[in-house]
Structure 1
Amino acid sequence: MMQKLQRYGGAMFTPVLLFAFSGIVLAITIMLNNPQIVGGIAEEGTTWNSILSILENGAWTVFNQMELFFVIGIALGLAKIANASAVMEAVVVYLTFNYFLSGILEYFGSTFGVDFSQNVGSTSGMKLIAGIKTLDTGIIGAIVISSLTVWLHNKYFEKKLPEWLGIFQGSAYVVILGYFMMIPIAVVVAWVWPIVQSGIGSLQGFLASSGTMGVWFYHLFERALIPTGLHHFIYTPFMFGPAVVEDGIVKYWMGNLGSFAQSTESLKAMFPAGGFGLYGNSKMFAAPGIALAIYFTAKKEIFSQCNRIAELGSTEGSELEIDEHASYIVDLACAIAYDTQERMLLIVENNGAIQNFDPTAMVEVPCIVGANGPEPLVQGTIPRFQKGLMEQQVAVEKLVV
C-alpha cells in the first residue's frame, strides 16, 4: 500500500519539475521589465517593455495550464502499459468532464447555488480550462479525473471486444467508458464543489490569520511525511492550488513580484501567505535532529571514551581503535587548518591535472593541501588505453548519479 502511495506522490511530482525553468524566466523578465530597476527603458509602450512582456507571457505557460500538466503527469506516472495512450485518454476524459460540468452549471447553475454568468477568477469560483468556462476544481480535480482514467486504462485498455466492435478497442474503449463515468461525477462535483470552495475560503482566512502557529503546523506535517513520499499531498494544494491564495503561492508570488519590489511595505504584511512557501527554512533543524539521533542511539560508553581521548590528546589505553582512514581525515583537517602544505592523495575535480581528460571528472591525484584546500598537481597526459577505461567509468558514474 505504501509503495502505491509513494508512486502516486511521485506521479504528482512529475509536472512540478517543469516549474523551475518557468519560475527563473518569470523572475528575470519581471525584474528586467521593472522601471525602478532598469529605468525608463521598461516603461509601458516601449519596445523593451513589449519584448519582455512577450517573453514573460511564454513563461506563464506551465502555471496557466497547470491542471492539464497534472492530468498528463498522473497518467504518465501511473499507467502500467501504453503510457502515451493513457496520457491522451486522460486529457480527453478530463476535458469531457469539464464540458459536462460547464453545461450543467450553464443550464442548472441556480439549482447548485452557482451564478454561471459571473466572470472567471476572483471569488466567482469559475475558471477557463482549455477555453472551457467551468468550476475551478484546481489540481485536485485534475488529479482525481486523471487517476480514474488511468484506472480505466490499466483495467480495460487491453480488453478484447467482438471483431465487429474492434474499432472501439484500446484508447477508444477507455474514452467511451470515461465519457459515461464523467456524467454522474460532473453532477456530484457541481453539487459538492461549491461547498468545498466555501470551505477553502474559510481555510484561507483561518491560516492567514493564525500566524506563526498555522505556518508551524503546515511545515511540521510537510516535513514529517517526506520519508513516506506523501508530503506532496500537503504542500501541493498550498503551493500550486487555492488553499491559501488563488492559483497557489508560486503563481501568486510570480504575478505580484513587481508590485512587491516597488512597495516599501513589509513583505509579511503584503503577502502573509508567503510564510507557507518558506519550508526550506525548516531544514535548519536537520543538523540538530541528526545530532540528537546519534546521541540517543549511540552506546553511552563511547562518549566517556571520547572525553578521555580529548583530555589526554591520545588514543592510548582507549577502547576505541583508530584506523588508517580516520587518521587520514585528521591529517587532512590539520593541513587545512594549519596551512601545512601537506602532500596527500585525494579525489578532486580534474580541472587540468590530467591534461587529456574530462576537466569536470573526479580523479584521484597527488595534491598539496593548505589553507585554500587541496590543489591538484599536474600529471600530464595518460595513455590512450587507460584514458578509454577511465572515460567509460566516468560515463557510467554520470548516468548513475
Structure 2
Amino acid sequence: MKQLQKLGKALMLPVAALPICGILMGIGYALCPSTMQGGEVTGLIEMIGFFLVKAGGALIDNMHILFAVGVAVGLADDHDGTASLAGMVSYLMITKLLNTTVVTTLMPAVANDEIKTLAFGKIENAFIGILAGIIGAVCYNKFKGTQLPDVLAFFSGKRCVAIVTALASIIVAAILLFVWPLIFSGLVWLGDAIVSMGGIGAGIYAFLNRLLIPTGLHHALNNVFWFDTIGLGDLSNFWAGKVTGDIGTMGTEINWDLGMYMSGFFPCMMFGIPGAAAAMILNAKPERRKVAFGLVGSAAICAFVCGVTEPFEFAFMFLAFPLYVVYALLYGIFTVVTYYVGFRAGFSFSAGLTDLVFSASLPAAKNTLLIIPLGLAALVVFFVVFYFAIKVFDLKTPGREDEDTSAEAPAKLANNSFTDIASGVLAAIGGKDNVTNVDYCATRLRFDVKDSDKVDDKAVKAAGAAGVIKPGKNACQVVIGPKVQFVYDELKKML
C-alpha cells in the first residue's frame, strides 16, 4: 500500500500538466471553430486558435510520455532528473520492441490474430508509460551510487542508470511479448463491460472513483477510462475535439457517448459539495459553527472553482466514514442521471467551474446550461442527505466532534501562516526524530515515519491541517489543501 501511495503521488506530477492543456485548447476551439468542425483555417484569429489547439494537443496526445518521465522523477528518492532520462529510455525501448512491425516479424502468427494485433498496435499508452516510469525510478534508486572498476569508472554512478534501465527494459519487453495480450484482453473486457452498461456503468465508475480516494488507487481506475490505455480515452478524445462516432486518438472508433465518464462529476463537485458543506455547518455546535464554516466552507469554494475536493473529503471521511460511502454513492447516482439527461462536459484537471467554461466550446460538449438544474438538484440532494444523516445518526462531522482542536486551522491557512502550520504538524507527527522522509502531492504532505502511532491526529488538525491518514505503520499523510507546497517548503527547512 505504501508503494501504491507513492505511485499515486508520482502520477500527480504529469497530471498537473493537464490544466494548461485545457486552457489552451478551450481558448483555441473558441477562436477557431474550423479546428473541430472542419473547413479552412483563415484569418489571424483562427490561426491563433489553431495554434493554441495544437499546443494543448501536444501534451494531451502524448500523456503516455509525460507519465514515463513524471512517474520516474516522482518515484526517485531525490527527484533527480537522471531518473526522468531513465524513464524515457525504458519507454522508448519497450515501445520500440513491442510495436506491431517488430512483433509480427518475431511472431508471424500475431498478424492473423486480431486481438493481439490490436494489443501491440496500442502499446504506446498510459499503462506502458507508467510502467516505464517505475522501471526508470527503480533502476535509478538502486544503481545511482554504483562504483565500477577503474577501467569502466566513466560509467559509474548516475551514468550507469540509463544503461541498466535499457537492459532491464529489454527483459520486461520480452515478458510483455507474451503477457501484454492477456493484460490488454482483461482491460478490454473491463472497458467493454462498463461501456455495455451505459449510464449505469458510468455511475459505477464514478462511485468507485470517489470511494478509492483515501487509498490513492483512483488514479489507476482513471487511467483505464480517461486515457487511451484500452482504447477508451474519454478525457483525451474529448479534448482532442472528437465526438462520438469519430475515429479516436488511438485510431479506433469512439463507440461510447464521449464525456460520459466525466460529466457526472460537475454537478457533484460544483454544487453537491457546497450543499453537503452547508449541512455540516448547520449541524455544527453553535459555538463551533464559525470553525466549521472556515474549514468546509472554504473547501467547498475550492471545489466549485477548480474541482479540488480533497480538503473537503478528508475533513470528514474518517470522522464519519459511512457518510463518505454515501457521498461516493451520490456521485454514482448523479452520474447516471447526468448521462440520461444528456449533459456533457469534460475536464482537463477536475470538474470545477474553470474546466466547465473551457470545455463548453468543445464539439463533444452538450447541453451545457443543464448544469444549472442538475447543479441545483445536487445542491438540494447533497444537503438533505447530509443534513439528516448527520442529525439522525449523530455523525461527528467538523464542528460536532466531542473535543475539537481544529479551531486554529482556518485562521492559519487564511493568514498564510505556513511556518506555524509546518511547526505544528512536525510536532504533531512525533517531531524530527520520527520522520525519515517527507514529500508532497497536490494537497497532501506525505511522511515516511518510524512509527505512525506517535502521530497525534487532533494535534495535526489543530496545527492547520484538514485531516490525517495513516495508510501503514510507517506512513502518514497530512491533508493541507492547494497551499501544501508552501507548508512543505517551511517543513523542509525545519528538517
* TM-score, normalised by the number of residues in structure 1: 0.60
Q: Verify the 8 A CA contact 1:11 1:76 in the aligned structure 2.
A: yes
Q: Verify the 8 A CA contact 1:78 1:150 in the aligned structure 2.
A: yes
> Is 2:19 aligned against 1:17?
no
CA positional deviation for 1:9: 0.3
Structure 2, unpaired ranges of 5+: 246-253, 273-329, 331-381, 401-406, 416-482, 489-495
Q: Verify the 8 A CA contact 2:5 2:215 in the aligned structure 1.
A: yes
Query: Which residue, 64, 79, 91 being the options, matches 1:94?
Result: 91
CA positional deviation for 1:75: 1.2
Q: Report what 2:336 is aligned to.
A: none
Q: Report what 2:263 is aligned to.
A: 278
**Whole-Å Cα distance in 1 between the matches of residues 26 and 201 of structure 2?**
28
Q: Verify the 8 A CA contact 1:93 1:179 in the aligned structure 2.
A: yes
**Whole-Å Cα distance in 2 between the matches of residues 75 and 60 of structure 1?**
23
Q: Report what 1:66 is aligned to.
A: 63
**Whole-Å Cα distance in 2 between the matches of residues 68 and 203 of structure 1?**
24
**Whole-Å Cα distance in 1 between the matches of residues 207 and 217 of structure 2?**
13
CA positional deviation for 1:175: 2.1
Q: Report what 1:83 is aligned to.
A: 80
Higher relative contact order (CA 8 A, sep 6+): 2
**Whole-Å Cα distance in 2 between the matches of residues 115 and 174 of structure 1?**
37
Q: Report what 2:153 is aligned to.
A: 166
**Whole-Å Cα distance in 2 between the matches of residues 63 and 51 of structure 1?**
19
**Whole-Å Cα distance in 2 between the matches of residues 237 and 259 of structure 1?**
18
Query: Which residue, 124, 131, 136 being the options, matches 1:149?
Result: 136
**Whole-Å Cα distance in 2 between the matches of residues 292 and 181 of structure 1?**
53
CA positional deviation for 1:399: 4.0
Q: Verify the 8 A CA contact 1:203 1:244 in the aligned structure 2.
A: no
Relative to structure 1, the CA distance from residue 271 to residue 183 in structure 2 (aligned partners, 3 Å threshold; closer, same or farther) is closer
CA positional deviation for 1:199: 4.0
Relative to structure 1, the CA distance from residue 22 to residue 290 in structure 2 (aligned partners, 3 Å threshold; closer, same or farther) is farther
Q: Report what 2:223 is aligned to.
A: 236
Q: RMSD of the alignment, in Å?
A: 3.9
Q: What per-residue deviation string (whole Å, max 9, x for no partner) do you get for residues 62-107 of structure 1?
A: 1122111101111111100361111112112221222222363152
Relative to structure 1, the CA distance from residue 197 to residue 158 in structure 2 (aligned partners, 3 Å threshold; closer, same or farther) is same
Q: What per-residue deviation string (whole Å, max 9, x for no partner) do you get for residues 337-358 of structure 1?
A: xxxxxxxxx99x99xxxxxxxx
**Whole-Å Cα distance in 2 between the matches of residues 397 and 95 of structure 1?**
34
**Whole-Å Cα distance in 2 between the matches of residues 14 and 189 of structure 1?**
26
Query: Which residue, 156, 177, 181 being the options, matches 2:168?
Result: 181
Q: Report what 2:4 is aligned to.
A: 5
CA positional deviation for 1:290: 7.0
Q: Report what 1:254 is aligned to.
A: 239
Q: Verify the 8 A CA contact 1:207 1:244 in the aligned structure 2.
A: no
**Whole-Å Cα distance in 2 between the matches of residues 43 and 273 of structure 1?**
22
Relative to structure 1, the CA distance from residue 398 to residue 88 in structure 2 (aligned partners, 3 Å threshold; closer, same or farther) is closer
Q: Report what 1:213 is aligned to.
A: 200
**Largest Rg, 1 or 2:** 1
Q: Report what 1:292 is aligned to.
A: 389
CA positional deviation for 1:124: 4.3
**Whole-Å Cα distance in 2 between the matches of residues 183 and 399 of structure 1?**
41
Q: Verify the 8 A CA contact 2:94 2:169 in the aligned structure 1.
A: yes
Q: Verify the 8 A CA contact 1:75 1:146 in the aligned structure 2.
A: yes
Q: Report what 1:27 is aligned to.
A: 26
Q: What per-residue deviation string (whole Å, max 9, x for no partner) do you get for residues 245-289 of structure 1?
A: 2xx1112112235899xxxxxxxx985252211352445346534
**Whole-Å Cα distance in 1 between the matches of residues 189 and 176 of structure 2?**
19
Q: Which amino acid in the other structure matches residue 57 of structure 2?
A: W
Q: Which amino acid in the other structure matches residue 180 of structure 1?
A: L
Q: Verify the 8 A CA contact 2:145 2:158 in the aligned structure 1.
A: no
Identical positions, percent: 24
Relative to structure 1, the CA distance from residue 91 to residue 202 in structure 2 (aligned partners, 3 Å threshold; closer, same or farther) is same
Q: What per-residue deviation string (whole Å, max 9, x for no partner) do you get for residues 296-333 of structure 1?
A: 2459xxx9xxxxxxxxxxxxxxxxxxxxx9xxxxxxxx
What are the equivalent positions in structure 2 for 1:116-131 lying under 5 Å apart?
Answer: 124-125=118-119
Structure 1, unpaired ranges of 5+: 117-122, 128-134, 261-268, 304-324, 326-345, 351-395
Q: Report what 1:335 is aligned to.
A: none
Bigger drift between 278-287 and 85-94 goes to 278-287
Relative to structure 1, the CA distance from residue 224 to residue 398 in structure 2 (aligned partners, 3 Å threshold; closer, same or farther) is closer
CA positional deviation for 1:14: 1.3
Q: Report what 1:309 is aligned to.
A: none
CA positional deviation for 1:193: 2.2
Count of residues in Structure 1 that have an aligned counterpart in Structure 2: 285
Q: Verify the 8 A CA contact 2:95 2:124 in the aligned structure 1.
A: no
Q: Which amino acid in the other structure matches residue 155 of structure 2?
A: F
**Whole-Å Cα distance in 2 between the matches of residues 96 and 296 of structure 1?**
56
Q: Which amino acid in the other structure matches residue 110 of structure 1?
A: P
